[in-house]
């Protein structure tokens, strides 16, 4: 047997292990559609918190969905974070017609803060709910979503619950990228392990992070992660490392988001957190890019370059990859046939990873929504990997 054969065989074995982890893991995550939409007695008060900056395109529709929730006891706090468009005016108009909507206008960003994190922190300090629900300004929620989620949190004795949305993209290729990104995120974070107290895996999703107020305050909330562009998953990390209980549920039937409207928006949008997700580590980014290339791109190219048994192994590897991606899509209301674009979308993701790292290093930081954040300051706000302050 040649070295090329053994490389192909090793690639297939690793693909089998990754595919099994993804397929089995996906099936271990609960779905909110299996919970009753009827409110249980004595549900706790929920404070829904939204940070909005230049969101005039989506903010009205998103907030109308939040104001039509069927949950019996909640308030909605929206922070206009230095918007330069009509966001602030739209919020003030909507607040006049519904007393549950409270609007906070932020005029200046204090030093040492990321804009969104500061906005969420300010709102959390004014919230009076027993639970805090952090969500984004472009999320559309179905009326029973919060009821189902709070019920799941209470039934399972959780301190933090994240929920997955359905991702809507305007073109087929962007839809394929969204489907592939779910796979990348799942294999990287292994969200099905978040509930395991012995695992270092943790979860947080910007569209839906529901956390007990007392727990949020105990871990320091967004002040602890004030300069983290990946604030959603890092909020989950500080909750998990403190010894609290968290989990994730599928909720694509009840929550949707138009993630990005164009390929340019995808590339620019991921500039914010692609490097921070690797804790600004060049070796991690390069290693991740190499692993993605060898595991997600090369098997498809090798089909046309190899011959004989080696070609057959790569055909099997590519088929298994497509099967795993298509299977994963089913859990997120994505189209399974989008798996055919996986080699191209994986290539795009590798490009985004390398481009973002190079750009952040060249600029010495991140430009995000009109504000520059120096890389030195961002790096200083690292969250240690291991648990530091377990609950008694």
Show me where the domains of the chain are located. 3-25+274-380, 29-261
Query: Which segment, 2-6, 238-242, 278-282, is predicted with the most confidence on average?
Result: 238-242
What is the C-alpha to C-alpha distance for residues 346 and 177, in angstroms, rounded to an integer? 8
pLDDT at 259: 85
The mean pLDDT of 130-156, rounded to a whole number, is 96
First-last CA distance in the chain: 57
Q: Which of the four pLDDT bands, split at 50, 70 and 90, describes residue 385?
A: low
What is the C-alpha to C-alpha distance for residues 155 and 141, in angstroms, rounded to an integer? 22
Angle at 287 between CA 281 and CA 293, to 5 degrees: 140
The per-residue pLDDT of the chain, averaged, comes to 93
pLDDT at 388: 42
Question: What percent of the chain clears pLDDT 90, i.e. is strictly above it?
Answer: 87
pLDDT in tens, 78-96: 999 999 999 999 999 999 9
**pTM score, two decimals?**
0.92
Higher pLDDT, 4 or 251: 251
pLDDT at 390: 44
What is the C-alpha to C-alpha distance for residues 194 and 323, in angstroms, rounded to an integer? 25
The CATH number for 29-261, chosen from 3.90.550.10, 3.30.830.10, 3.40.190.10, 3.40.50.300, is 3.90.550.10
pLDDT in tens, 173-192: 999 999 999 999 999 999 99
Lowest mean pLDDT among 219-223, 336-340, 378-382: 378-382
Lowest mean pLDDT among 22-36, 79-93, 126-140, 259-273: 259-273
């Amino acid at each position: 047997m040649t070295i090329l054969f053994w490389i192909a065989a090793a690639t297939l074995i690793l693909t089998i292990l990754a595919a099994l982890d993804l397929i089995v893991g996906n099936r271990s995550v609960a779905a909110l559609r299996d919970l009753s939409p009827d409110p249980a007695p004595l549900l706790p008060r929920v404070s829904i918190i939204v940070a909005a900056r230049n969101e005039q395109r989506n903010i009205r529709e998103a907030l109308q969905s939040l104001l039509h929730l069927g949950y019996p006891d909640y308030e909605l706090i929206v922070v206009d974070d230095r918007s330069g468009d009509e966001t602030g005016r739209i919020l003030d108009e909507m607040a006049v017609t519904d007393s549950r909507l409270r609007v906070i206008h932020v005029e200046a960003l204090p030093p040492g803060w990321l804009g969104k994190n500061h906005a969420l922190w300010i709102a959390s300090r004014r919230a009076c709910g027993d639970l805090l629900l952090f969500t984004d300004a472009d999320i559309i929620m179905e009326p029973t979503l919060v009821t189902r989620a709070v019920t799941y949190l209470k039934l399972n004795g959780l301190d933090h619950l994240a929920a997955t949305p359905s991702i809507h993209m305007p073109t087929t290729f962007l839809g394929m990228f969204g489907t592939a990104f779910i796979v990348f995120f799942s294999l990287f974070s292994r969200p099905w392990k978040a509930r395991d107290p012995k695992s270092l895996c943790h979860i947080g999703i910007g569209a839906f992070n529901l956390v007990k107020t007392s727990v949020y305050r105990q871990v320091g909330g967004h002040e602890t992660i004030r300069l983290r562009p990946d604030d959603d998953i890092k909020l989950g990390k500080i909750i998990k490392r403190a010894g609290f209980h968290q989990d994730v549920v599928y909720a694509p039937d009840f929550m949707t988001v138009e993630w990005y409207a164009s390929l340019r928006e995808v590339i620019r949008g991921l500039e914010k957190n692609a490097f921070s997700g690797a804790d600004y580590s060049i070796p991690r980014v390069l290693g991740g890019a190499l692993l993605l290339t060898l595991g997600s791109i090369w098997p498809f190219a090798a089909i046309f370059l190899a011959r004989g048994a080696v070609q057959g192994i790569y055909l099997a590897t590519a088929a298994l990859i497509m099967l795993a991606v298509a299977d994963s899509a089913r859990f997120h209301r994505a189209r399974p046939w989008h798996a055919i674009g996986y080699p191209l979308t994986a290539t795009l993701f590798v490009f985004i990873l390398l481009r973002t790292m190079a750009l952040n290093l060249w600029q010495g930081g991140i430009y995000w929504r009109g504000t520059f954040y120096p890389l030195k300051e961002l790096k200083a706000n690292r969250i240690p990997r291991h648990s530091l302050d377990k609950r008694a």
